[in-house]
Amino acid sequence: MMTYIGSMTLCLLLFLLIMCGSVCHGGKLLVFPGEGSHWVNMDILIKALHSQGHTITVVRTTKSWYIKDESSYYSSITITVTDAMDEEFVKPIIKNVIDIQRGTSSVINIIHSQIKMFSALSQVHKYACDLATAVLKDKDLIKTLKENQYDLVLTDPAWGTGILVAHYLQLPLVYNVQWAISGEGHLTIAPSPMSYIPMTLSGHSDKMTFTERVKNMLLYLLFTVRDRLTLRPHYQAVCDEFFQPGVDFYELLQGADLWLMRVDFVFEFPRPTMPNVIYMGGFQCNPAKPLPQELEEFFHSSGEHGVIIMSLGTFVTEFPHDLADVIAAAFAQLPQKVIWRHKGDRPATLGNNTLLVDWMPQNDLLGHPKTRLFVAHGGTNGVQEAIYHGIPVVGLPLFFDQYDNLLRLKERGGAKLLSMATVDKNNNFLEALQEVLDEPSYRMNMQRLSRLHRDVPMEPLDTALFWIEFVMRHKGAAHLRTESNKMPWYSYHSVDVVLILLGVVSVLILLPVAIVRYLCFRKCLKRKMKSE
């Protein structure tokens, strides 16, 4: 009974603390969000922070894509830039990737595209550094930022602008993170044995064959080299220009106070982590709200067969016509109703059971009791929502981490994956839909993941808010952060110690051998001289 009372008292105290915090001690946050779909996540976090009484300033550019300059829950600072990773920058890259995935490119084209992708990534980080330089050079802006006395910088470390500015302003740093500059976030902060941690984009699970482990190691080496040669130099140049000598960008990247990870271990394979990594996977998910009447009627009309939801995310605005036709034709053969978020022309083969929409309340649709299946591209948000609502998935991964995301569902028996290269062949798509609809294990596995995901002592969003406010209250979280990133790599990995120990052991073994050989040699020499 003591603990009931204890936990209720705690809850009440926490509630009062939050209430009090929101009224009297609202903090000030300076936010450097990511562009594109990364903003979707950050926006949710910012809204929640605002509702707790905190004041948020978002730094955006004149080329910002989704990030509006006016909002009811944040104010913004707009930096003028001539170039940036905007929608026009991303469109041709995505078209390229889809062509490669579908195998409609020649080998020369594929190599050319891969080189272009590498160079585009480097360009993205160059833009991030240009933005940091623009901020740091603007004396009036820096003065304002200093006067504002922010409590912390919140940023998405897929780009490094916020990290550089936070160091300049000497502010605590909190990440809203799944990717950090060049790869999955954990790779930067936690020990990651390549024997069972699949590299980003490797397409491996945490159980690898020997060949897969070799491939994984090679991918790790490739990422490391790419990182050192093409990405870090941009950021290091900013460090060298604006900071004391000896400030290493990678140390700054690793040195954030808190890593709010957009995953949890229902989604991610279990792996080593660090004390300052807080898991908030699925923080964007909510119980479904009632649907607009039109959609509700559509759901109702599906009867016992239920509804399939299809969306390929925010990036894919134009989908290849022939592929759209194949997909529409497959849907037309099913007894289910289908809601398809589709922006291109109306496919010729579209059935009466399929409703095309420009936008959809995805979370509410997935949470509807009649939803049977989710056809998804594997973006983090969609995958997390599928887990939250326990809906099985047919995955059509396109690029970036989408295959890796969907693989995590597949490994748990909750999804079937199709590649873009074969989706339009031999009724592949239709068969995949039918298999996931008819085989109960897919649904049962997703429902199990949903139960595990929801069984937490505190909701992910509340956890994130608690820890952000923790950093504000204590002006950082130094006690949760190792300083091992300040060691040179050979010390961190004990290479120096091992070499010294091996040296000592060698001397201890070889010295007596050498002495014995020398003595023998002298004896022989003497004997020889005598005999002569």
Site for its own copies (CB under 8 A): which residue of 492, 521, 525, 526?
Answer: 492
CA 89, CA 2: separation in Å to the nearest integer?
Answer: 60
* Binding-site size, its own copies (CB under 8 A): 69
148 scored as a contact of its own copies (CB under 8 A): no
Q: Which is nearer to its own copies, 118 or 492 (CB)?
A: 492
Cβ proximity to its own copies: between 48 and 398 the closer is 48
CA atoms within 13 A on the CB side of 8: 4
Told to check if 270 binds its own copies by CB under 8 A, we report yes
> DSSP secondary-structure letter at 231?
I
Element (DSSP H or E) covering residue 39? helix 38-51
The answer to whether 308 and 221 are in contact (CB under 8 A) is no
497 binds its own copies (CB under 8 A): yes
Residue type for position 186: H
Tell me if 461 contacts its own copies by CB under 8 A.
yes
Distance CA 97, CA 320 (A): 12
DSSP class of residue 292 equals P
Q: Taking the chain, what is the end-to-end CA distance rounded to the nearest angstrom?
A: 101
If binding is defined by CB under 8 A, does position 71 make contact with its own copies? no
Rounded to whole angstroms, how far apart are CA atoms 326 and 330? 6
Q: Does 236 bind its own copies (CB under 8 A)?
A: no
Residue 177 as a binder of its own copies (CB under 8 A): the answer is no
> Is residue 50 near its own copies by the rule CB under 8 A?
no
Residue closer to its own copies by CB (options 128, 261) is 261
Question: Can residue 95 be called a binding residue for its own copies (CB under 8 A)?
Answer: no
The correct pick among 271, 351, 430, 434 for binding its own copies (CB under 8 A) is 271
Q: Which stretch binds its own copies (CB under 8 A): 145-153, 242-250, 321-329, 484-492?
A: 484-492
What is the SS3 assignment for 105?
coil
Q: Which of 113, 178, 188, 276 is the binder for its own copies (CB under 8 A)?
A: 276
Q: Which of 46, 256, 75 is nearest to 160 (CA)?
A: 256
Q: Which residue from 91, 146, 300, 493 is in contact with its own copies, where contact means CB under 8 A?
A: 493
Measured between alpha carbons, how far is 479 from 530 in angstroms, rounded to an integer? Answer: 75
The answer to whether 75 contacts its own copies (rule: CB under 8 A) is: no
Cβ neighbourhood burial of 499 (10 Å; 0-12, 13-18, 19+): exposed
Coil, strand or helix: which one is 24?
Answer: coil
Q: In Å, how far are 296, 360, 369, 456 from 300, measured between CA atoms?
A: 6, 17, 10, 33
Q: Hunting for tokens 């190691």 — which residue is that?
A: 217
Residue nearer to its own copies on the CB measure, 261 or 324: 261
User: Is 210 or 359 the residue whose CB approaches its own copies more closely?
Assistant: 210
Phi, psi of 417 (to 5 degrees): -105, 140
Q: Please tell me whether residue 312 binds its own copies under the rule CB under 8 A.
A: no
Nearer to its own copies, 24 or 529 (CB): 24
CA distances in angstroms from 1 to 6, 211, 457, listed in the order given:
8, 56, 18
195 is a contact residue toward its own copies (CB under 8 A): yes
Q: How many whole angstroms separate alpha carbon 29 and alpha carbon 54? A: 7
Figure out which of the listed residues 245, 246, 440, 457 binds its own copies, where binding follows CB under 8 A: 457
CB of 235 to its own copies, least distance (A): 25
The smaller minimum CB distance to its own copies, of residues 220 and 442, is found at 220
Residues lying near its own copies in the complex (CB under 8 A) = 1-4, 6-8, 10-11, 14-15, 18-19, 48, 51-52, 190-191, 193-196, 206-207, 210, 213-214, 217-218, 265-266, 269-276, 451-452, 455, 457-459, 461-463, 465-466, 470, 473-474, 479-484, 487, 491-494, 496-498, 500-501
